[in-house]
Amino acid sequence: MNGDGKVDAKDASAILVAYAKASTGEDDGLTDAQRAAGDVNGDGKVDAKDASAVLAYYALVSTATGDIPTLLEFARPKVS
């Protein structure tokens, strides 16, 4: 989301700032690339659900060993 190549709390914070702006009728301030990166669950919105997924993924990556899924694999709904 912020372009530093890491998925962390800074990304979640940026998502929440954009969501707060959009929720109050302001422009969210995101570029198309940031909007695409911020919509981690693929529902077409950048919102608190995306920020929550980013924080959960950050916690996973910070503590897990072995095979770690990508953020999109982790956050997008599984199709069965």
List, for residues 24-46, the tens digit of each pLDDT value. 999 999 999 999 999 999 999 99
* pLDDT over 80 (residue 78): no
Domain containing residue 53: 9-75
Neighbours of 15 (CB within 10 A): 29
Question: Is position 44 within any domain?
Answer: yes
pLDDT interval class at 1 (50, 70, 90): confident
In a domain, 80, yes or no: no
Q: Tell whether 45 is covered by a domain.
A: yes
* Residue 26, pLDDT score: 97
How do residues 43-71 score in pLDDT, each as one tens digit? Answer: 999 999 999 999 999 999 999 999 999 99
Does 24 map to a domain? yes
Judge whether 32 lies within some domain.
yes
| Confidence band, pLDDT 50/70/90 cuts, at residue 2 | confident
Placement of tokens 């959009």 in the chain: 22
Does residue 1 belong to any structural domain of this protein?
Answer: no
40-68: string of b/e by CB count within 10 Å (b at 16+)? bbeeeebbebbbbbbbebbeeeeeeeeee
Residue 2 lies in a domain: no
C-alpha separations of 15 from 24, 46, 68, 77, 80 in Å = 14, 7, 23, 19, 29
Single pTM value for the model = 0.90
Number of domains in the chain: 1
